[in-house]
Structure 1
């Protein structure tokens, strides 16, 4: 046994030992070369880590925690009028005494109703936050990262509301009543130049966990039509945002504000937390609003007075344009109508800025001020022209330029009837499953034009249909006072 082990062991074979040693040295060579590579990768990771830490160190002093204090409506027996006591023959209780007698008797002391965040944008105490963070407040408390507190319950001038804009859910506060001049600030970045996939860093006070930092990416930019505010330009991020982050900053890797955190989409049910769908108001919009609030105490916006709808491919072919926004109505007496803009015009540019959607047009106009002359480039019946519109100030009763989604409708082979009435030419019956039905035409829709030709009788409708270019007829209708263009595919057949 021992001989056998000697013959098969390393000591029993010199050449085998040499081969094995060579193999071990060969394995050690790549391991040795891998070590510097690992060290290099670690160094890169540490540099990235340092970049995030640097952003947080720079940003935290300019982030504030805002506490909204509200008075809960209540009425105690001590607040009842003297008539109450006399009616029941009960002696009036002596009024309570103490330093807070006024609050307890007629003006109860405000209680904490919620918390949010904010960003210092000027060293003399101006702070931007969400309007919903301060809405309904009786008092506001603003706490800085260094522990300094401004409380309007103790001193009404300590925290003042400079102005707010419900249409964007933004508000500007000022702390210190002019006595502070050197607060740390954060600058706004250019959100238009932001790239999807870029780093995004959120700082705020989620669930009362003040100065929490989360990191993610810019998932998308230019989000709108989500139904949260009137004027929407949101940055979507997967950086964790939760209740309490509202009003706080969304930052880029340079520590610049790319957005003001506003809301999240949750999983529904009992879920209140982040599922990776957070939205922040784009910094360019936030800067525009805060500048106006600081300068004027309100946001002053221009108004053209048009209703508009998207231009899909079919409508684009009929109107002879590749991109633009279709005017469905120019409101009588408003700037657009006075300048000569008509229903059926396709607006392609506001100034030098091309527009492809109603949202594009809306924000292109918002770059101007009331009284400005705006060059509007449009196409009318195949011919390009430029119209100069002098914008007026948008009033509280003015809707934004109405955006009407494209629909469709038509005559018998399209599954509908047309009737002449004292009110004009209207849609009668619509056959279920027909092209008109699938186009969402409704009984009572008043037909004003077909293919940009005014029609007053069914015969005129048919004649106008014969002049359709391509396969899509364009109807201009009035539905309960709302006018719109509708494209109908003449080749589409009714369902059996």
Structure 2
């Protein structure tokens, strides 16, 4: 009897447990289903585009909380009025007459019409900055390559007024030029800061007309990336020291100022680095001529209209262009000498001739500067003034010699020789 009662109790509890489990599953399923329905409803509600519209708008412009008179803005405002666009105009030959079989010139009645007009058209545009005002004249510094080949020059002032300009002087070695304009409409004149005092990381602004006067007075901001980079400048390959900056410099910026945050001109923008691959430009690497160099050159251009520098009176080739066999058999150089310039000709009565230099001498040093090629020789030579002496180190028939150059001769370096054999 007890066994029967116990079995009944066990079955009863088992039924209770089964019913409980079944009820739990059903309840859980219902809860899960309800929860899914709620989530689906919320998703549909949150993504559905609301009906109706707010026809009254309601959005407004808030007060500008940015500092509109920051350091960069003040620097730009202080010099912006002195920045100009420079227009290079050149003659375009235009013939008039009837178009014949061989082009213009044969009129229908058989008479030759040789009349022609020389029309001036814009060949290129660049930038410049007004740095001096004296009486009725104002002076603009720009790049030599901006004005090169011009038949006429014009300057567009910051207020948009266009005035004619005269070329005072230009220097191809440093790529600088000075223009003179009427000062009547000139209100702002820029000042130069000491480029020897700049440091990498310093904030700078570049101002000019990138891509032409349509974008005149464009300002870009960057830093001094390097204080002293040595590059080949001008058309004669002379090595020169320049400022590197990451401020955006594009075609048309040439000749414009690079300024510090006090609004002082610390450089004249001159070039942008281009890669060897299809001449593509490299972003963030631009160069400016240091202001200390600029001031030295433009003062001489104002005074003399040109720059005169010492000249050796030789023609030369880089030693690297001479085969190793010729270096041994003709020049008889020791194997330790691999860089320098080879004298190919010496002008009679020149500085080099007076010092005793001869054809096939290999110059390896001028003063304290190692000579590696024609550019480095010119850079070293141009540090001297006419009338000074300079020590030259050279090799002749395998032996090293030294001589003293009396730099009594000078040459106008605005004219250059682009041939493979350099002259100096």
The residue number in structure 2 matching 1:74 is 94
CA distance in 2, matches of 1:270, 1:363: 29
The residue number in structure 2 matching 1:115 is 125
Determine if contact 1:293/1:299 at 8 Å carries over to the other structure: yes
Q: CA offset at residue 275 of structure 1?
A: 1.4
CA distance in 1, matches of 2:248, 2:383: 32
Greater RCO (CA < 8 Å, at least 6 residues apart): 2
Stretches of structure 1 that go unaligned for 5 or more consecutive residues are: 1-44, 93-104, 153-158, 312-317, 405-481, 483-496
Other structure's SS at 2:188 match: coil
Q: CA offset at residue 339 of structure 1?
A: 3.2
The residue number in structure 1 matching 2:293 is 285
Q: Is 2:252 the counterpart of 1:244?
A: yes
Determine if contact 1:239/1:276 at 8 Å carries over to the other structure: yes
The residue number in structure 2 matching 1:87 is 110
Q: Is 2:368 the counterpart of 1:366?
A: no
User: For residues 164-198 of structure 1, what are the alpha-carbon distances to aligned partners after superposition, in whole Å with 9 as ceiling and x for unaligned?
Assistant: 2334332221101xx65965322334444543333
Query: For 1:262, which of 266, 270, 292 is the aligned residue?
Result: 270
Distance 1:136 1:118, change over 3 A: same
Distance 1:135 1:385, change over 3 A: closer
Determine if contact 2:126/2:252 at 8 Å carries over to the other structure: yes
Q: CA offset at residue 364 of structure 1?
A: 4.3
Q: Is 2:231 the counterpart of 1:224?
A: yes
Q: CA offset at residue 308 of structure 1?
A: 8.9
The residue number in structure 2 matching 1:355 is 369
CA distance in 1, matches of 2:319, 2:266: 28
The residue number in structure 2 matching 1:276 is 284
Deviates more, 1:57-66 or 1:179-188: 179-188
CA distance in 2, matches of 1:389, 1:271: 42
Pairwise CA RMSD of aligned residues? 4.6
CA distance in 1, matches of 2:105, 2:311: 55
Q: CA offset at residue 229 of structure 1?
A: 4.7
Query: For 1:169, which of 160, 170, 175 is the aligned residue?
Result: 175
Other structure's SS at 1:293 match: helix
Query: For 1:56, which of 64, 76, 79 is the aligned residue?
Result: 76
Distance 1:66 1:225, change over 3 A: closer
Other structure's SS at 1:72 match: strand
Pairing of 1:413-432 with structure 2 (within 5 A): none
Distance 1:210 1:197, change over 3 A: same
Distance 1:230 1:387, change over 3 A: same
The residue number in structure 1 matching 2:26 is none
Q: Is 2:152 the counterpart of 1:139?
A: yes
Determine if contact 1:340/1:387 at 8 Å carries over to the other structure: no
CA distance in 1, matches of 2:187, 2:389: 39
TM normalised by structure 1 equals: 0.53
Pairing of 1:162-241 with structure 2 (within 5 A): 162-176=168-182, 180=184, 184-207=188-211, 208-220=214-226, 221-225=228-232, 229-233=236-240, 234-241=242-249
Structure having the higher Rg: 2
- Length, aligned pairs only: 322
Distance 1:391 1:78, change over 3 A: same
